[in-house]
Amino acid sequence: PTRLILDCDPGHDDMVALILAARHPSLRLEAVTTVAGNAPVRDTTRNALRILRAIGSRVPVYQGADRPLMRTQQTAQGFHGENGLASAGAELPPCDEAPAPGHAVEAIIRLVEASPGEITVVTTGPMTNLALALRLRPELARRVRRIAFMGGSTGAGNVTPAAEFNIWADAEAARIVLESGAPLAMFGLNVTHQARLTPAHVERVRRSGGRLCEPLADLLTFYLETSARHFGERELGAPLHDPCPVAYLARPELFEMQALPVQVVTDGGSAYGMTLCDTRVLPPERDDRKRNVEVAVRVDAAGFAELVLGALEGL
Ligand code: BDR
Ligand code: CA
């Protein structure tokens, strides 16, 4: 199985990523680390624990950075709700377990260094923890198997015309990660908008008969509604951003990837937080660009939906 750490800020789509990572038979989720992003880190940590314990997973959850490296903190509580995981009805069972001892950054360093070349780090929130880990231990870039992240876009953003939330919320951190030399796979809005959750999918979860099917369906209903309110496209459903990098680890053949040079814009202007993807075609003899990122450009939407529903149904 593919061994992974999931660094996240749950978040409704992070919730689906967590469940897929914890349940897919070809993945081994070794730790979950949390970061401030959709909501303050205390909330994202509580949400991660609540989701994992509800589905019977005992994976350790380490709390991480409570703010971005440099910029002022911006959350997405207007989107995911005050606690980062609002429901349209039933809630997951409460959980008052404390996070595992130690900081997320220390946990990431320890786990990667204990198994060089073995551990994939997936990030589905701002990349603050990973940036701190790479600054403390630059050699981590060579020891990690791969970093697969949800963030950025080859085209339009979602919080600004240029920027996607996870990159914009800590662009300095994202820049450290993208310039680290680690093997990188990017799942940006250009591909996550092909990976939709529809009302019919949510109905399948609701009718699947498990103990958690009502709370899960109600949480996903909230996500469909908040997404339609913010971005329209109600009939298309809501993009399932965060499960994409996890789905890639479980079933890489669902995605088409393209190696590209990608830079993170950190100048304080209107492109702050943009992932500038160099898609120019150049003759090979004039092309000395470093293609630092494998960028997902297409997903098999039906195959992706079945993969995700397979993890959610019957819980
Ligand atoms: C990203 O922003 C967050 O709100 C989601 O959880 C996802 O990680 C999409 O831009
Ligand atoms: Ca997220």
Give the Cα separation of 18 and 16 in Å (integer): 5
Tokens of 108: 């990431």
Q: What pLDDT, on the 0 to 100 scale, is given for residue 21?
A: 98
The pLDDT score that the predictor gives to residue 37 is 98
Q: Where are the beta strands (DSSP E) in the chain?
A: 2-8, 27-34, 61-63, 119-123, 146-150, 184-187, 196-197, 238-239, 255-260, 262-264, 275-277, 293-299
- CA-242 nearest atom, ligand 1: 8
| pLDDT value for 30 | 98
ipTM beyond 0.90?
Answer: yes
Bond from prior residue into 209 cis (ω within 30 degrees of 0): no
Mean pLDDT estimate for the chain = 98
What pLDDT score does 137 carry? 98
Average pLDDT over residues 98-121: 98
Question: Residue 5: what pLDDT?
Answer: 99
Tell me, using a 6 A CB cutoff, whether residue 14 lines ligand 1: yes
Residue-level pLDDT at 23: 98
Pocket-testing residue among 38, 44, 122, 227, ligand 1, by greatest number of atoms within 8 A of Cβ: 38
Distances (CA, A) of 103 to 73, 100, 173, 195, 226: 20, 8, 17, 33, 32
Determine how β-strand 238-239 pairs with β-strand 61-63.
unpaired
Is 299 in contact with 191 (CB distance < 8 Å)? yes
Which atom of ligand 1 is nearest to 164's Cα?
10
Which residues have CB under 8 Å from 210's CB, separation 6+? 313, 314, 315
Smallest-distance ligand from the CA of 152: 1
At 110 the pLDDT is 98
Retrieve residue 315's tokens: 């819980």
Tokens of 288: 């000395």
CA distance 243 to 312: 12
The rounded percent of the chain whose pLDDT value lies above 90 is 99
Question: What are the DSSP calls for 118-183, one per residue?
Answer: TEEEEE-S-SHHHHHHHHH-TTHHHHSSEEEEE---SS--SSSSS--HHHHTTHHHHHHHHTS---
Write out pLDDT tens, residues 184-205: 999 999 999 999 999 999 999 9
Cα–Cα dist 130/280, whole Å: 29
Write down the pLDDT at residue 105.
Answer: 99
Q: What is the mean pLDDT of residues 239-267?
A: 98
Instruction: Name the pLDDT band for 275 (thresholds 50, 70, 90).
Output: very high
Q: Give the span between the Cα atoms of 173 and 132, in whole angstroms.
A: 8
Joined together, the tokens standing for residue 70 give 């440099």
Residue 193 a catalytic site member:
no
Q: What residues have their beta carbon closer than 5 A to ion ligand 2?
A: 9, 11, 14, 124-125, 242
Give the pLDDT score at 169. Answer: 98
pLDDT band at 269 (very low <50, low <70, confident <90, very high): very high
Q: What is the pLDDT of residues 3-42, one digit of tens each?
A: 999 999 999 999 999 999 999 999 999 999 999 999 999 9
DSSP 3-state of 244: helix
CA distance 210 to 313: 7
pLDDT in tens, 287-310: 999 999 999 999 999 999 999 999
**Mean of pLDDT values over 209-236:** 96
Rounded to the nearest whole angstrom, what is the distance from the C-alpha of residue 95 to the centroid of ligand 1? 24
Q: What is the mean pLDDT of residues 175-181?
A: 98
Measuring CA to CA, which residue among 27, 23, 74, 44 is closest to residue 250? Answer: 27
Task: Please state the atom number of ligand 1 nearest to the C-alpha of residue 12.
Answer: 6
Q: CB burial class (10 A; 0-12, 13-18, 19+) of residue 88?
A: middle
Structure tokens at 252: 């890489």
Q: What pLDDT, in 10s, does the model give residues 37-76?
A: 999 999 999 999 999 999 999 999 999 999 999 999 999 9
